[in-house]
Amino acid sequence: MTLPIYVQGAWYLGALLFIFGLKGMGSPASARKGIVIAGYGMLLAIAATFLIPGLQNLALMALALVVGGAVAWISGKKVKMTDMPQMVAIYNGMGGGAAAAIAAIEFAKGDAHSVVTTILAVLGALIGAVSFTGSCVAWAKLQGVLKKAHRLPAQNAVNVVLALVAVGLGAAMVVLAPAQPELIFGFFAIALVLGLIVTLPIGGADMPVVISLFNAFTGLAVGFEGYVLGNPALIIAGIVVGAAGTLLTQLMAKAMNRPLSNILFTPMVASGPGEAISGSMKEVGAIDAAAMMRYASKVIIVPGYGMAVAHAQHKVWEMTALLEEAGVEVKFAIHPVAGRMPGHMNVLLAEAGVPYDKIFDLEEINGEFGQADVALIIGANDVVNPTARTDKSSPIYGMPILNADMAQNVIVIKRGKGTGYSGVENALFYTDNCRMLYGDAQPMAGEIIQQLKAMG
């Protein structure tokens, strides 16, 4: 059926707004505007869909929009900023699941499609199903429902076998189109299980890359199903999101210096006993920590997941303002994989009101640690571990890290003496220039603030 020109035009305009919106999201300063622009694009595309002549089930479509919109609105209002990674993960999954459901309906209808269209439908279904169940596992891990990674015996062999079976069933669906219900059911069952099995062994340290990867999967799945439906808005938006997610995944993997295959198929565990660490952890009190920063010329703050868990970003910004009033130069250093999703720390700091020009990524800030009087680490661990430079048996060896150990003094706010998500002991904590301030980040930052105010 040839669609009216006004419907097609609205879809293309919506896709254009998606692109402009995504471009705006490339900078923290314009991200909010970009989201609004993309939202208008989505609204336009949905409205145009309802204008297709002869469209059926309009009431069900409207009901689905109302229910889905209400759930998204309520959850979006209530979600804590520290819980944003798991919300992003589950939204990725819903997008992939929707693409897979579209393909399932097309297969079930048994309508005649070209070979190319059928292949794209199968690819979209496979990628979308994997993204759906994989994202659900990622959500469960981030939410704390799954407390640890679960690895099967011969895990990689199981992954390969499941992937080959899924591809084989998909190929059979193309050759035997229209496929029988049993074949369709088997294909989707294997694809859904594959997403579960691949994601279950992946630990928290790799979760930012996994979320980004599933974001790319969802975009590609939507783009493929858009081709099946002949919807240019889905095609353009899906491929753009898929391409952006793929590039981000590559950047995240590069930031960890680990190939994507290593992240998906190799657990982050040490391959040897590791280098011996000499020295001991030395504690410091809030009053001494406050004095070290109050009378410093330059302080670099390194936030990590511990800051997010403690909801300490507002206290950290209040502390920063007091230091700046005293004439101290303060900057924030963000590692690409700090937190549990790409940009996690940037989002938290922006929520607290930290100006964008005070936030720097690894490449921008690393050369300045040598001139810093104090590096304040708040809940970060693996991303500041100097073992990554020297210990070839370490699972984080070769990962670019923030050079916090090169500062004249290092203060680490940490809840306890445990290791990071990689399970590797942090050699930084044992160096002569490092002091440990034990406790949750929010009350510890509050104590430092009180001491700074007392110093005048």
Q: Give 261-314 pLDDT, tens digit per residue.
A: 777 776 555 444 555 566 788 999 999 999 999 999 999 999 998 898 888 999
Q: pLDDT tens for residues 362-394?
A: 999 999 999 999 999 998 888 899 988 888 777
The torsion angles phi and psi of 290, rounded to 5 degrees, stand at -65, -40
| CATH architecture assigned to 286-455 | 3-Layer(aba) Sandwich (3.40)
Domain ranges of the chain: 1-73, 89-268, 286-455
pTM for the model? 0.78
Place of tokens 């960890």: 256
Average pLDDT along the chain: 87
The alpha carbon dihedral of 337, 340, 341, 345 has a sign of negative
Q: Of 382, 391, 405, 440, which residue is the catalytic one? A: 382
Q: How far apart are the first and last CA of the chain?
A: 75
CA dist 106 and 174 (Å) reads: 13
Whether 382 is catalytic is: yes
Q: pLDDT tens for residues 85-133?
A: 888 889 889 999 999 999 998 888 877 678 888 999 999 999 999 999 9
Which range is least confidently modeled, 209-213, 256-260, 387-391? 256-260
CA dist 10 and 435 (Å) reads: 60
Residue 48's CB: how many other CB atoms inside 10 A?
22
